[in-house]
Amino acid sequence: MDVSDDVDKEEIAKLIAEYGSSSNTSWLEFSRYKIWTADKDIPPSTFRPIQGYLRSDPYIFAWGNPLLSDSTALEQTCLEFWKWCKAQKLKLVWCCVDDRMEKVLGKGSKFGWSTVTCIVEDVLDPQNVVELAQSQGGGPEVKDFKKNIRRAGREGVEVREIKSDGWKDEEKKEVELGIVAWKEAKAGLQLASTSFQPWVDAEHRRYWVAEKDGKIVGILILTSIGGGQYQIKNAASFPEAPRGTSEFLIYSTMRHLEDEDETSEDGPMFWDESDSDRARHPSRHEDASKTTSRSQSRASEDSTASDRPRRVTVTFGISASDEMTPVDNVGGWRVSWLSKTYKKVVGATGITKRGDFRNKFHTEHLPMYVCYPSKQGFGIEGVSKLMKCLRQ
């Protein structure tokens, strides 16, 4: 059932912090996202599964994996949500889902949907960022990163954490005015899954600010997500900030987290090495992703994951890839058309620039997927509706 009007916002925020992904955090902008909750229990999830979505009739754009406590409930949850969409005579497109979800919806599954990838999850390791800043040499991106850190330091930029309950009214005002100026400085068509709302779900967020001569010139916001991880929900240097403030702010926060982890027995967030391998070598997993035994393969990986080394990591969230790549049940003119359309969107919006900046920090790029019923398709109307939903 659709319970957007009666949703328990605090409970959803709590569940996202415990079980959710970076895409799920977008749902907390309840003015943009609607919320569906299963109308019955779906074991073994300990709560009724939840799905956030954008709506532009006749399309529903489900955003991220469903929120549940056990991934074995994914298939039944997807069936229930799709059933609800069809009862409303709406067309469903599932956006920004991970490889586990793609296996549930794609080739060889009960759904047999078409799937493509044109987005990635950008994951970074605080330890690597700190070591990168202290390393010798490196390519152009690394040199630019280190030069900007030094530049901000010479300009007297300082970074400190402010606890969620430690903000002064004048500091909040500085941040809010800085965000307004930051938005006004952006040119051209802006597409984003969320807007910049710094005080949403403050209970599950941590804040670092960059200051120059006692004035706040930048902010970085971390939000808690499932698996004890953090997402960089927002990171921005305001127009009056010295050059290099963004890099210095991210570096300083990662150094803080790395120092924090070294003094903790169990560390705040982990990312398994199997995900790192999948990001570096997607071709190793391509064959497995196209057979009916994919679920068993992943289950086997999961059963041994606890034996692998684990390390502290953070996610930037999603960014756009340079190209759209077909994965399952897409071919011929449809691939050509979707690819050309995607390139036009990239050219008009510059949406890949975010990923280019993130590459400075040696991020790992985990493929994410867009899935839709093959018979339904995802044509020019659907693309236009999605862009309308994401336009800022």
pLDDT along the chain (392 residues), means of 10: 67 97 96 96 97 96 97 97 96 96 95 93 94 88 93 97 97 98 85 90 97 98 94 97 97 94 54 41 37 38 39 85 86 79 80 86 94 87 83 70
Is residue 113 domain-shared with residue 135, that is, in the same domain?
no
The answer to whether 145 touches 153, Cβ cutoff 8 Å, is no
Read off the tokens for 320: 């756009």
Q: What is the DSSP letter of 326?
A: E
Q: What is the DSSP letter of 69?
A: S
Q: What angle do CA 345, 371, 288 make, to 5 degrees?
A: 115
Is residue 245 domain-shared with residue 327, that is, in the same domain?
no
Alpha helices for the chain (secondary structure H): 9-19, 74-87, 99-105, 126-134, 140-154, 169-184, 245-262, 273-280, 294-305, 333-349, 353-358, 380-390
Is residue 256 domain-shared with residue 132, that is, in the same domain?
yes
What share of residues in the chain are helix, strand, coil (percent, to 5)?
45, 25, 30
Is residue 136 domain-shared with residue 236, that is, in the same domain?
yes
Is residue 32 domain-shared with residue 148, that is, in the same domain?
no
Specify burial of residue 104 (Cβ count, 10 A radius: 0-12, 13-18, 19+): buried
Q: What local confidence, expressed as pLDDT, does residue 296 receive?
A: 41
Does residue 204 fall inside a structural domain? yes
Q: What local confidence, expressed as pLDDT, does residue 7 receive?
A: 72
Residue 270 to residues 117, 182, 228, 314, 315, Cα–Cα distance (Å) = 25, 32, 7, 8, 11
Does residue 269 fall inside a structural domain? no
- State the pTM of this model: 0.85
Q: Which amino acid is at 110?
A: K
Does residue 282 fall inside a structural domain? no
**Domains identified in the chain, total number:** 2
Does residue 76 fall inside a structural domain? yes
Q: What is the DSSP letter of 242?
A: P
Q: What local confidence, expressed as pLDDT, does residue 237 receive?
A: 97
Is residue 109 domain-shared with residue 134, that is, in the same domain?
no
Read off the tokens for 318: 């999603």
Q: Which amino acid is at 225?
A: I
Is residue 224 domain-shared with residue 258, that is, in the same domain?
yes
Is residue 171 domain-shared with residue 61, that is, in the same domain?
no
The answer to whether 87 touches 94, Cβ cutoff 8 Å, is no
Does residue 267 fall inside a structural domain? no
The answer to whether 22 touches 123, Cβ cutoff 8 Å, is no
Does residue 338 fall inside a structural domain? yes
Q: What does the alpha-carbon distance between residue 151 and residue 226 come to, in Å, rounded to a whole number?
A: 36
Is residue 57 domain-shared with residue 168, that is, in the same domain?
no
> Which one, of 252, 256, 261, lies nearest residue 145 by Cα?
252
Is residue 18 domain-shared with residue 84, that is, in the same domain?
yes
The CATH number that applies at residue 130 is 3.40.630.30
Say which residues have a Cβ less than 8 Å from residue 223's Cβ, sequence separation at least 6: 17, 25, 201, 204, 205, 206, 230, 231, 233
Is residue 54 domain-shared with residue 141, that is, in the same domain?
no
Q: What local confidence, expressed as pLDDT, does residue 338 receive?
A: 82
Is residue 238 domain-shared with residue 157, that is, in the same domain?
yes
Read off the tokens for 185: 């400085």
Residue 244's domain spans which residues? 126-262
Q: What does the alpha-carbon distance between residue 155 and residue 213 come to, in Å, rounded to a whole number?
A: 9
The answer to whether 251 touches 213, Cβ cutoff 8 Å, is no
Does residue 96 fall inside a structural domain? yes
Query: Are β-strands 59-63 and 50-56 bridged in parallel, bridged antiparallel, or unpaired?
Result: antiparallel
Does residue 221 fall inside a structural domain? yes
